Structure 1
């Protein structure tokens, strides 16, 4: 099935409303899928030879231009990426959250630098030298001629400083990129440290990818919630049922398949965080899993970067008897708030009644304020990521 046919089928089933921006993007993705099906990529391992010796035949099999789809939250970017990735025939291909991809890159760079010269050549070939970026990019290209990124956003200076070189190598290895973002390319890493060093990466994106804007009139994510509350009191079967209903609305997952909802694992600084339910940027946790375990700010930031919506069940009343859990909860809410994550939760009390006495009650007032703001329509309408 073509991307456009799959999109029109969803409209016919009344799962989507007609949207000119979405239709235009679907047509562009359809065109790209056709171009990729006809393309015969060269082996990634030959790219370093092409750069060394050049070659007049390089343009004879030039890869098709990729696509950068940006727009506000809930405009259907991930849905269109689903349709494209499911219906494009090129292999190998990979879809990955951009933050997860960059964590993998940094880990690969660290491992590369631990190897001696012989170890580098044994693992990456004779072209492996002191610079880890070219061999790592070549390895990525071997495993994915098409890379589909969810939510490209750049907030980390370490990412910003290597992206230009990394993507120059990826494109040099004939990797085709399709990505979604809440921001246009020119707003990536806005106001970031040493941003002038990041600008060549933006130039590279605009030179290599077509840019499509999706800012239609409907926020489909909020529309699916249909005005449902996002903070439920008290904990119990009714609240759990409501949050379950919200999860299935947000992810379009069949309720009858609830036992098959996938889980996943995040790796943060060598530690693994198990996510019991995770689908299409929506995750589900218990308070106990998030705050009774020894997690810290780096873990919560990884969760906030990875998921646009977090559902938490079982938030208890807090006080001196569970002060460690309360401190972690404060850190968690700060991270979710910083990245404009949508929070849906069930608790034993309203925000201002969660932590009323004890040595942490005063500090908790900011958390109360944020929990209240995170229920507002203005907050819910903000895009995922740090505020500009």
Structure 2
């Protein structure tokens, strides 16, 4: 029996080619009438006898029992910079009514329609991951003011243990059937002498995954082509941060990488950093977690520990300077038990923690002020 259950009426996110395939699959058994879309130019259109509606309209349809469940297809799980599933739960959807259609349910032509439908499951049971970041270096050769990871406090030659990371990655492979992107990051990954080993085992474990290295490019300026041959061998894409001190040099780096055939992306100039933390630590952790845009956008791995975001890892570095007095571990030890499932990961990491109280609160809830409230300075951005 399908994991969709006994429901009949379904809405699907968002309007694109893979959604068309999914609609064709589900229409024989279920009533698929609505496509939820945040592109307002599509609202009201009726492609293939479907009605395209806003996200707000989907909430109304669900509350008014005009739809039973929603389906989030593979790689459609972000909205306004945050995880769509968390967004839906935040505004009233039941966990059991938010479903996930994995890659194979949409694209695997070797499966029968029945088998493809049976792959659709409750979202928090999905065994696919859109992005995994692997921190292999806690050291950096640039000491940026306001670095969000506080790597300037971590010291030199502070690297993840390769053998521990290798075992952890093998375990990750057993948990997730598919990972779309893996980012090797830091600190500065090129400082770690085992970088090529990481690329080799990641490509071995995840042959179809897009692999990126996030780098500031400083080391790249002095490397020769032979030093970078592993990037071609393991089909790695570089993501190069563009800092002000590179003005005039970033063009040369691009030309050199292009000549060597190394795929790369140059990011926008970094003249400013965002403020992520408030060390007063007075924010309500449940409020911070409820409004968090980072929640389950990706998972972060350092050696055998999984993090729900970068905050716990970053604040460990910050504690080298600032006594934050955090007792909550807020991570998942992949070695703690022999068999770990995707459900274990979700239950372990999808919850508020002490770290949340240090997240900078830049949000103000909308409200239509009454006359007597207009004179209260707390109701204005001051």
Is the TM value for this pair above 0.5? no
Q: Which structure has greater helix proportion? A: 1
Q: Give the TM-score normalised by structure 2.
A: 0.29
